[in-house]
Amino acid sequence: MYLTTVNAILHEIDNPALAPNERALLRCRLARHQEQAGEYEAASEALAELWQGIGDRPNLEGLNDATQAEVLLRVGAITGWIGSANQIEGAQEAAKDLISEGERLFESLGLKKKAAEAQSDLALCYWREGAFDEARVMLQGALDEFEDTDLAKGNHRASVRKAQRSSPHLQRNSHSV
């Protein structure tokens, strides 16, 4: 399924009739699939048209606010994953800055579910830094937003449970999650 999805997205990206926003969103979707598969370098490469790598800001020129927010979220998330895997100093802080900027844009557009997704990615950054209380607060905020959607709630609850199992610091007050 992963390869089928990736190949379908790659085929769509090649469409010369795509508008810049559509192409950027497809690149973000591709990066997200690769990120979820643990293919962080491939996820980074999927965004190469928009982003040159950790330490560089993505090129958001000509993109609407919603697309800019999505690019910032994906670039921030991938920065966090690659930074963690390669122990790049300052990567989590850079990731948090990008994700936070995306979250603010989502909020300003009224896209609360996307803002909550950003909060969950921010929580991972805090967790990687050992800031477990901040991670727990961010995850709780994201879960609160997802309360209405059972599928999303289940996916994010699974993320919280996984984080709690891997860190005793997150187990405190876990009854509320």
What is the tens place of the pLDDT at every residue in 157-167? 555 555 555 55
Identify the CATH number of the domain in which residue 35 sits: 1.25.40.10
What is the rounded distance in angstroms from the CA atom of residue 133 to the CA atom of residue 131? Answer: 6
Domain that holds residue 150: 2-176
Question: What domain count does the chain have?
Answer: 1
CA 14 to chain centre: 24
Listed as ranges, residues in the chain with pLDDT below 70 are: 1-3, 148-177
pTM for this entry: 0.81
Burial environment of residue 28 by CB neighbours within 10 A (0 to 12, 13 to 18, 19 or more): buried
Residue whose C-alpha is closest to residue 48's, from 65, 31, 66: 31
CA proximity to 29, closest of 56, 50, 57: 50
